[in-house]
Chains A and B, each alone.
Chain A
Amino acid sequence: MPAPASDSDTHFSLLPLAPSSSQDQSLPVIYPIRHSLSPPISRIAISWARGNALRVSLFRHHQHVGDGEDDAGGRVVEVKLSGAGNGGTDNDAQWRRIVYGSVTPFAVFQNRKNSALALSKLPVGALSDVEWWEYVMEYSREINSLLGTAKSTASSTVEDPRTILAVDEEPNNLKAAWELLEIFYADKPSQAWLPERLVDWLADYDGLFADTQSTVYSKLVDLQKDLLYLQAIEDDPKYWDGLSSALAVGWLEIVVKLLRLHGSCQLDQLGRRETENGLVEAVVVLVSKVPRLRPELRAGRLGECYRNKTDFIKAWETWRARVTKLECSAFWLECEHQQTKEGLRKLLQIMLGASEHLSATTYNWVELYIAHFLYIRPFTMGLESMYSLAQKCIQLKPVSHHNSLMGLLLGILGENTEVVLAECSKAFGPWMVTHAIELLTAGNDQSEILLREVHDNLGGVSIQELHRLVYAQVLVSHQLTWQTTSTRKARIAQGKTLEICRLYELESVSSNIMKIAGVHHWKHGRKGSGIFWLQQAQDEIRLNKIAQKLFDFVGKSISQETFKQWEGLIELLGSDTRTTGGLEFLHKYRDFKKALQQVGDGKAKDAARRAVESLITLMKSPSTPQRFWLPLLYDSDTGSPESSRTHFMAVDLTHLRPQGHVCCLDYSNNGCRESAASGLTATGKDYGQGRAAEKAKELKLLTWREGPLLDASQTNLLLNKLQELSMAKLRPDYVEADLPPQALNSVRLALARNLGRAILEEQ
Chain B
Amino acid sequence: MATLQPQTQTNHLQIHRLPQSKYVDAVRWMPPFSAFDKFVVLSFFDSDSSSCTIEIHSLDNSPNNQPILCPLSASPTASRTSSLKTSRDLIAFSTFSGSLNFISPDYRSGEVSLNSSISVQELGFHVGPISCIDVLESECVSVGEDGRVNLVNLGGPKVDYRRIFDGNGLVSHTAAKWASPAEFATGGLGFSLQWWDQRRKPGEPALQFKGNWWPQQPIVLSGVGSGKGQAHLISESEVWEVQFDSHSQSNITSMPSSRLLPVMMCSEDGILSLIEQGAEPIELLAEPCAINSFDIGKQNHSDIICSLEWESLAILSRP
Across the interface, A574 reaches (CB within 8 A) one of B82, B167, B227, B268, namely B227
Given known A528-B188, A529-B172, A568-B171, contact A486–B145 (CB-CB < 8 A): yes
Say whether A488 contacts B174, CB under 8 Å: yes
Distance (whole angstroms) from the CB of B189 to the closest CB of chain A: 5
B155-174, CB under 8 A of A: which get 1 and which 0? Answer: 00000000000011111101
Known A-B contacts A93-B21, A528-B147; A574 and B170 likewise in contact (beta carbons under 8 Å): no
- By a CB distance below 8 angstroms, the chain B residues around A575 are 225, 227
Interface contact A571-B311, CB-CB below 8 Å: no
Q: Does B237 contact A (CB under 8 A)?
A: yes
Interface pair B80/A485, CB less than 8 Å apart: yes
In the bound complex, what is the Cα–Cα distance between A491 and B238 (angstroms)? 9
With most chain A CB atoms within 10 A of its CB, the pick from B129, B171, B237 is B171
| Chain B 11-62 residues near chain A, CB threshold 8 A | 19, 21-23, 47-48, 50
**Residues of A close to B168: CB separation below 8 A:** 525, 565
**Please, how many angstroms separate the alpha-carbon atoms of A487 and B224 in the complex?**
14
Min CB gap B312→A, angstroms: 8
Residues of chain B contacted by A94 (CB below 8 angstroms): 21
Given A93-B22, A479-B23, A575-B225; A100-B170 close (CB under 8 Å): no
Among A92, A107, A569, A572, contact of B48 (Cβ-Cβ < 8 Å): A92
Binary contact track B162-200/A, C-beta < 8 Å → 1, others 0: 000001111110100000000000001111100000000
A488 touches B189 (CB 8 A): no
A115 at the interface (CB under 8 A from B): no
Q: Is B233 on the interface with A (CB-CB < 8 A)?
A: no
As a 0/1 sequence over residues 458 to 489 of chain A, the CB contacts with chain B under 8 angstroms (1 = contact) are: 00000000000000000000110100111111
Establish whether residues B171 and A484, one from each chain, have CB atoms under 8 Å apart when the complex forms.
no
CB distance from A537 to the nearest CB of B (A): 15
Residue contact B146 to A526, C-beta cutoff 8 Å: yes
Considering the complex, give the chain A residue whose CB is closest to the CB of B79.
A484
A568 touches B292 (CB 8 A): no
Residues from chain A with Cβ under 8 Å of B202 in the complex: none
Interface contact B129-A492, CB-CB below 8 Å:
no
Chain B contacts for A622, CB-based, 8 A: none
Tell me whether A571 and B191 are in contact (CB under 8 A): yes
Q: Which B-chain residue is minimally distant from A521 (CB atoms)?
A: B145
Q: How far is the CA of A525 from the CA of B238 in the complex (A)?
A: 25
Residues of A within 8 A of B189 (CB): 487, 528-529, 532, 572
Contact across chains for A479 and B190 when beta carbons are under 8 A apart: no
B76 at the interface (CB under 8 A from A): no
Which residues of A, 91-119, contact B by the 8 Å Cβ criterion?
A: 92-94, 96-97, 100, 103-104, 107
Answer yes or no: A51 CB below 8 A from chain B CBs. yes
Chain B residue with Cβ nearest A485? B96
A571, B192: Cβ atoms closer than 8 Å: yes
- In the assembled complex, B309 has its CB within 8 A of some CB on chain A: yes
Q: How far is the CB of B191 from chain A (nearest CB, A)?
A: 7
Q: Is the CB of B311 within 8 A of A496?
A: no
Indicate if B288 sits at the interface (CB-CB under 8 A): yes
Measured between alpha carbons, how far is A521 from B171 in the docked complex, in Å?
A: 11
- A238 CB–B CB distance under 8 Å: no
Task: Find A528's partner among B80, B127, B190, B211 (CB 8 Å cutoff).
Answer: B190
Residues of A within 8 A of B129 (CB): 485-486
A527 sits at the interface (CB 8 A): yes
How far is it, in angstroms, between the C-alpha of A572 and the C-alpha of B129 when the chains are bound?
A: 20
Total interface residues on A, using CB and 8 Å?
Answer: 44
Q: Is the CB of A569 within 8 A of B171?
A: yes
Q: Counting CB contacts under 8 A, is B317 at the interface?
A: no
Q: How far is the CB of A98 from chain B (nearest CB, A)?
A: 11
Other-chain contact of A491, B21, B171, B192, B268 (Cβ < 8 Å): B268
Taking a contact as CB atoms under 8 Å apart, the answer to whether A486 and B82 are in contact is: yes
Instruction: State A80–B268 Cα separation when bound (angstroms).
Output: 29
Q: How far is the CA of A521 from the CA of B23 in the complex (A)?
A: 24
Interface membership of B273, Cβ < 8 A? no
Chain B residue nearest in CB terms to A106: B288
CB contact between B171 and one of A92, A479, A528 (< 8 Å): that residue: A528
Most chain A beta carbons < 10 A, residue from B170, B289, B290? B170
Within 8 A of B (CB), among A500-531: 521, 524-529
A379 / chain B contacts, CB cutoff of 8 Å: none
- Name the residue on A nearest B211 (C-beta): A574
Q: In the complex, what's the smallest C-beta–C-beta distance from A759 to chain B, in angstroms?
A: 38
Q: How far is the CA of A96 from the CA of B311 in the complex (A)?
A: 9
Interface string of B294-319 (1 = CB under 8 A from A): 00000000000000011100000000
A566 on the B face (CB < 8 A): yes
Whether A103 lies near B288 (C-beta < 8 A) is yes
A532 and B190 form a contact (CB under 8 A): yes
Interface string of B111-148 (1 = CB under 8 A from A): 00000000000000001110100000000000001110
| A96 to B82 alpha-carbon distance, docked (Å) | 23
Please measure, in the bound complex, the distance between the C-alpha atom of A496 and the C-alpha atom of B238, giving whole angstroms. Answer: 12
B232 within 8 A of A: no
Q: Which residue of A97, A481, A566 contacts B170 across the interface (Cβ within 8 Å)?
A: A566
In the assembled complex, the Cα of A496 lies from the Cα of B270 at a distance in Å of: 11
Give Cα distance in the complex from A529 to B198, angstroms: 27
Contact: A487 with B172, CB < 8 Å? yes
A669–B131 alpha-carbon span in the complex (Å): 60
From residue 196 to 251 of chain A, which have CB atoms closer than 8 A to chain B? none
Kindly identify which residue among B48, B96, B127 contacts A484, using a CB–CB cutoff of 8 Å.
B96
Are A525 and B169 touching (Cβ within 8 A)?
A: yes
Q: In the assembly, what is the distance between CA of A565 and CA of B205, in Å?
A: 13
A495 contacts chain B at the CB level, 8 A cutoff: yes
Would A569 and B238 be within 8 Å (CB), given that A485-B96, A575-B227 are in contact?
no
Whether the pair A529, B211 counts as a contact (CB closer than 8 A) is: no
Indicate whether A525 sits within 8 Å of B191 (C-beta atoms), given known contacts A495-B268, A565-B168, A569-B171.
no
Residue of B nearest to A570 (CB): B190
Residues of A within 8 A of B210 (CB): 567-568, 571
Please tell me which one of the listed residues B172, B227, B290 contacts residue A492 in the complex, with CB atoms under 8 A apart.
B290
**Given the interface contacts A93-B311, A478-B47, A568-B190, does A525 sit within 8 Å of B127 by beta carbon?**
yes
Q: Which residues in A have their C-beta under 8 angstroms from that of B309?
A: 479, 492, 495-496
Residue of A93, A94, A484, A486 contacting most chain B CB atoms (<10 Å): A486
B43 CB, nearest partner CB in chain A, Å: 12
Cβ A526 vs Cβ B311 within 8 A: no
Our pick among A100, A104, A481, A529 for the contact of B145 (Cβ within 8 Å) is: A529
Assess the A100–B310 pair: CB atoms within 8 A.
Answer: yes
Question: Within 8 Å CB of B96, what residues of A?
Answer: 484-486, 489
Please judge, given known A-B contacts A488-B240, A528-B170, whether A568 and B188 are in contact too, CB under 8 Å. Answer: yes
**How far apart sit A753 and B261, CA to CA, in the bound complex (Å)?**
59
Contact, CB under 8 Å: B47 / A51:
yes
Chain A residues closer than 8 Å to B147, beta-carbon distance: 526, 528
Which residues of B from 60 to 105 have beta carbons under 8 Å from A? 80, 82, 96
Cβ contacts under 8 Å, A491 to chain B: 238, 268
CB within 8 Å for A574 and B225 given contacts A525-B127, A568-B188: yes
Shortest beta-carbon distance, B176 to chain A, in Å?
13
Please tell me which one of the listed residues A103, A478, A489, A566 contacts residue B289 in the complex, with CB atoms under 8 A apart.
A103
Asked if A565 and B174 make an inter-chain contact with CB atoms under 8 angstroms apart, the answer reads no
Are B172 and A528 within 8 A (Cβ)? yes
Minimum C-beta distance from A604 to chain B (A) = 20
Mark A residues whose CB is within 8 Å of B. Answer: 50-51, 80, 92-94, 96-97, 100, 103-104, 107, 478-479, 481, 484-489, 491-492, 495-496, 499, 521, 524-529, 532, 565-569, 571-575
26 contacting pairs across A/B (C-beta < 8 A): A96-B21, A97-B311, A100-B311, A485-B80, A487-B172, A491-B238, A492-B268, A492-B290, A495-B290, A495-B309, A524-B169, A525-B127, A525-B146, A525-B168, A526-B128, A526-B147, A527-B169, A529-B172, A565-B170, A568-B167, A568-B170, A571-B190, A571-B192, A574-B190, A574-B191, A574-B211
Listed in ascending order, the chain B residues whose CB lies under 8 Å from chain A are 19, 21-23, 47-48, 50, 80, 82, 96, 127-129, 131, 145-147, 167-172, 174, 188-192, 210-211, 225, 227, 237-238, 240, 268-269, 288-290, 292, 309-311
Q: Which 9 A-B pairs have the closest CB atoms?
A: A93-B21, A568-B171, A572-B190, A100-B310, A528-B171, A486-B129, A571-B190, A495-B268, A104-B288
